[in-house]
């Protein structure tokens, strides 16, 4: 199984287009040792030619241009993307579907019924795409059942329900339910290896613990270093926990939880522009590295 990290930042990317916080301003000016990042998405393949796109970020065009293996050039119009798998209906995870409208075939999209409802109502991307390539919806049931994707032979996928809210535009924002947010467990039948991907993870529940325990690679939420990071940086008032993200630092933080899996490869992804771990010589980055945990960057190739 090959996993390519197309984008490793949270919504807005890094630096964010309208943000002059310490990290964004320092990256732009070159005064901080920090690498720019696009909005989070990964791609998964069994053979290195045919890929499942996991989330479709607004930066998908630039991400595909930076990933030549995803454009195999077998025909006049071609792509290595066999399907798109959505973890939720957040704008930074679905807007890239609009960039894929030139597809020659109906676009296979795997997501929960809750996400489909949002993408045909509050943010009707599916409806819009019917005027272009169209969508071939495949349901991911949030019950732990495995599914396969045509063309991604040898890999089994399992949706892992996560406790979170639907996006702000969703008609059922105030009534969260299983399927609003998923993690993804990926199993390679040939190697026997598993990877767990959860870019939005706010609460460590039994099903999350089980998925991580089973996995050789844990690729999870790295949004904020501290819960009040937005306020500390002067760019907002919401806590990370209010936005559905478990911060890295402190008692019961993400770093403490990841310490339970010392023999797995552990990588933080979906990193907010305010997070000091983006700065490669920061004390916070050192604290992550000291624990044997990695910070995702765009273009990383992971093989299991």
Domains of the chain: 2-298 (3.60.15.10)
Average pLDDT, the chain: 96
Read off the tokens for 167.
């996006």
Distance CA 87, CA 67 (A): 22
pTM, two decimals, is 0.96
What CA–CA distance (Å, rounded) separates 225 from 235? 15
| pLDDT band at residue 101 under the 50/70/90 scheme | very high
Q: What is the per-residue pLDDT for 176?
A: 86
State mean pLDDT over 157-167: 92
Separation CA 9–CA 231 (nearest Å): 19
pLDDT exceeding 90 applies to what percent of the chain? 89
Q: What is the dihedral of CA 65, 66, 67, 72, to 10 degrees?
A: 30
The per-residue DSSP string of 20-54 comes to -SHHHHHHHHT-S-B--BPBPEEEEESSSSSEEEE
pLDDT at 164: 82
Q: How many CB atoms lie within 10 A of CB 73?
A: 9
Instruction: Compute CA distances 231 → 20, 25, 227, 241, whole Å.
Output: 14, 17, 9, 13
Can you tell me which residue has the tokens 């006049």? 76
Beta-carbon count within 10 A of 102 CB? 9
């Amino acid at each position: 199984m090959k996993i390519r990290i197309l984008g490793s930042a949270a919504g807005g990317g890094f630096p964010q287009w309208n943000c002059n916080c310490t990290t964004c301003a320092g990256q732009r000016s070159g005064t901080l040792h920090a690498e720019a990042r696009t909005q989070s998405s990964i791609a998964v393949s069994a053979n290195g030619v045919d890929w499942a796109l996991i989330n479709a970020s607004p930066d998908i065009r630039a991400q595909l241009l930076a990933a030549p293996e995803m454009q195999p050039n077998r025909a006049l119009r071609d792509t290595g993307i066999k399907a798109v798998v959505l973890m939720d209906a957040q704008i930074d995870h679905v807007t890239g579907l609009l960039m894929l409208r030139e597809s020659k075939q109906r676009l296979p999209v795997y997501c929960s019924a809750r996400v489909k409802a949002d993408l045909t109502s509050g943010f009707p991307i599916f409806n819009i795409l019917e005027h272009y390539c169209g969508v071939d919806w495949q349901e991911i049931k949030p019950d732990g059942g495995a599914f396969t994707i045509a063309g991604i032979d040898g890999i089994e996928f399992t949706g892992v329900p996560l406790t979170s809210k639907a996006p702000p535009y969703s008609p059922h924002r105030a009534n969260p339910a299983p399927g609003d947010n998923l993690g993804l467990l990926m199993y390679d039948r040939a190697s026997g290896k598993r990877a767990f991907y959860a870019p939005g993870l706010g609460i460590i529940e039994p099903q999350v613990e089980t998925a991580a325990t089973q996995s050789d690679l844990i690729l999870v939420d790295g949004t904020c270093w501290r819960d009040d990071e937005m306020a500390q940086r002067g760019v907002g008032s919401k806590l990370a926990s209010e936005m559905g993200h478990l911060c890295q630092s402190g008692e019961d933080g993400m770093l403490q939880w990841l310490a339970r899996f010392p023999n797995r490869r552990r990588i933080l992804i979906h990193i907010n522009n305010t997070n000091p771990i983006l700065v490669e010589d920061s004390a916070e980055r050192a604290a992550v590295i000291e624990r044997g945990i990695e910070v995702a960057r765009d273009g990383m190739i992971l093989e299991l």
